[in-house]
Chains A and B, each alone.
Chain A
Amino acid sequence: MSKIKVSKIKVIKIWRASSLSFQLSSLVVFAVFLCGLVNPLISYDPVLDVDLSRRDLAPSLSFVMGTDGQGRSVGLRLLKGVEAFFFPGLIAGFFAALIGGGLGAICGYLGGWVGRSIAAILELIDTLPRMVFLVLICTIYPPSILLIAMISCLLFIPSIATVVRRKVESLGAEDYILAHVAHGFHPLKIISYHILWLQCRALLTRQLIFVFSYVLFIETALSYLGDYGVQEPYPSWGNMVAQSRISVAAWPWAIPAVAIIVTIAALLAFGDGIARRDEEVKR
């Protein structure tokens, strides 16, 4: 009981101490997460939603965000569109942080030729222009959002590994890591617990959020192109933006466009806020 109370007070304290941009962004991120989590519970049939008698209605009480050219509710489609990137983004972010963090820690900790050859392979992946590589993959393999998420995860491993490696290299010079080595701790324990968990936690969380926002970006971009992502009539923020080609009214494409920008901005600010907070705590 008392434990819950303490953590509650702590949350309020952190909330009060953080900046306005962090507060706003965490609200948006929370809302998107909520949408993503309740999404599987919402049943939505895009075909049944079509009603040509209510085309291009302006936002009103019954349709908060108006309707599009086929009379479908923009708000509902926006909500349902979260599904397209939410779980793929989380999975890609999680694995990118896990693998990238692990590889980076190994590179930085071991050094030598093992570290250098891993670093060389990672640099190779980093040279590939991401969008071009994704299109190439989608030409050769049957495209699906899960494949896209997997490739995004792969493409982000090098940059995460580099960040972690630099951190580990700077830590490696510190005496207490040397002391752990001298105490005879198992290297795996030092890498996974003392380095990755204790030191790189916030950094990896930030990277996870960054990859998530990239999957959101790439999913909307590919769905906008219309051949690889989510296909009409199923909603995605990307193919909703693509309505700009055929829509008479502005809101069917402008609202998802704003949603994309606001969500990515909130994710980035949230990640930065977490990293900054962690630095402050350490100091």
Chain B
Amino acid sequence: MTAMLTSERRSDQAAAAPGSGLMVEARGVSKSFGTNQVLRSITLDVKRGEVMCMIGPSGSGKSTFLRCINHLENIDAGRLRVDGRLVGYEERGDKLYELKPKVAARQRRDIGMVFQRFNLFPHMTALENVIEAPVQVKGERKGVAVERARALLERVGLSGKADAYPAHLSGGQQQRVAIARALAMEPKLMLFDEPTSALDPELVGEVLDVMKQLAASGMTMIVVTHEMGFAREVADSLVFMDGGVVVEEGDPREVLANPQHERTKAFLGKVL
């Protein structure tokens, strides 16, 4: 399998511009659910270390795009590369081959994902949630994983909650555990799918703080959010999506202050 992986990597690097600093490279990515086309030829670049915020009305395809990046959804058209490697497929010659589930799972290890509804494992404590994937997927020794998990929980401000079950944590605490859980796999890219939308207003700040700190540490992040303040303050780029297309993208301060497109103006007029 290692041989296959290396050959795949080689062919992929040949296809992608070698040495390009792109973490995510979307070229004409399209996706339909039945007759409903949710993504229409999305072309986007996310550079290494970049923090990109995606905004837009619900149903605009932001979340679907995120889910395509770690192959929770298959794309129908276009090419989607993460760190130079095609997502979910392998290109040999001019043919695409579906990846085996095992290889696809291996790709996902490097991409952390944080969900709107946290999706912590309710039958495990905070600590067990964090060590689950390192131990079960990477085969890390439990002692090592626990040590790192404790450090991660401390980093998200929850060192005292290691033995608490998710049901006994507030939404903000749960989401911070979820972030720690994703970070435990040492991902090179973090995806946030409306991480604060399910939270009570007074709990939003604590989650955003952890994300800011993460951004400051140089993590590449794609954040689907309605937190314009966060976008303005932290993001390197802002993408406005509507109806499955990228309507406008650019510097967040510029787009938010001076939107060029009518639809962007209308949307921002409603949320700001």
Real binding pair: no
Binding site for A on B (CB under 8 A): none
Residues of A within 8 A of B (CB): none
